[in-house]
Amino acid sequence: MSLSIGPISLPIDRLLILVCLAITFIVGAFAAKKDKVSVDGSIAGIFILSMLAARISFVVQYWAEYQQDLWSMIDIRDGGFDAWTAIIVGLVSLIVFAWKQPKACKALIKAYLVGFCVWGITTFSLRMLNYTAQQLPAIMVKQLDGIAVDLNKVEQGKPRVINLWATWCPPCRREMPVLQEAQQEMTDVGFVFVNQGEHSEVIEQFLSREDLALGNVMADTRGVLGYQIGSRALPTTLFINAQGELVDAHLGELSKASLKAKLEKIEKLEVE
């Protein structure tokens, strides 16, 4: 789910986009060299326009959630982008940029074609790999009273949101009110909070100090769950369907909008 380099962790999907963008720049530079033109500015412009349009599209779709906190619209840490909008706007922008720069047309198209193909093939391959390991790992966690329970049995039989967090993690603390509100309002979804690496006393003190009334708070003192799902960064949130299958995940802070988008994905998969 993520790649950690020292203190920095990047979600695989966002890291893949950066790698493909770098490949696009490299291919564009080599392809444009013989014509003595530069396509760097055009590549950057197309990418920025695509990402901006994708963000605006996502905000419009979840305006009800964003209007309660307008500043959150520009906080892209929640990962709120509409992929189809990015693809469509990127394609239209590519055509326009190529039409306006006939000398750089071939190099620009070649660069974006290679970058997009690498992204598409890698994304498809990663999804195929995920299909072979969809079940939530079987691990034991402890309730705050010290009783050990099977994580798979907690809120079993309904869609679940499993949040991996720690008291020392600033984005974990910022998203807690959002998750608490969702837990209180969405009784048909099971919310489980699995603390990574801390003991019950520390967790209870934190919940009391922050006046948080959370249900299903568990302690995973050795951080086994994070290790098994392939994410060492916090917060990480897992989305499980009613059959106990891991259908989606989010690395980083969740907003109301991004949480709703993920839950809608679960509902759509359940219907299918």
Q: Cα–Cα distance between 48 and 53 in angstroms, integer?
A: 8
Site of tokens 């720690």: 166
pTM for this model (two decimals):
0.82
pLDDT of residue 272: 55
Token pair 């980083």: residue? 252
Instruction: Determine the pLDDT at residue 91.
Output: 94
Q: Which residues of the chain have pLDDT under 50?
A: 132-133
The pLDDT, as a whole number, for residue 95 is 93
Query: What pLDDT shows up at residue 174?
Result: 92
Residue with tokens 């994304």: 123
C-alpha gyration radius of the chain:
21
CATH topology of domain 140-271: Glutaredoxin (3.40.30)
Residues in the chain, total: 272
pLDDT digits (tens, 9 = 90+) for 172-207: 999 999 999 999 999 899 999 999 999 999 999 999
**Quick one: pLDDT at residue 243?**
86
Q: What is the pLDDT of residue 232?
A: 74
Note the pLDDT of residue 4: 56
Q: Where are the domains of the chain?
A: 9-131, 140-271
Give the pLDDT confidence score for residue 268 in this predicted structure: 73
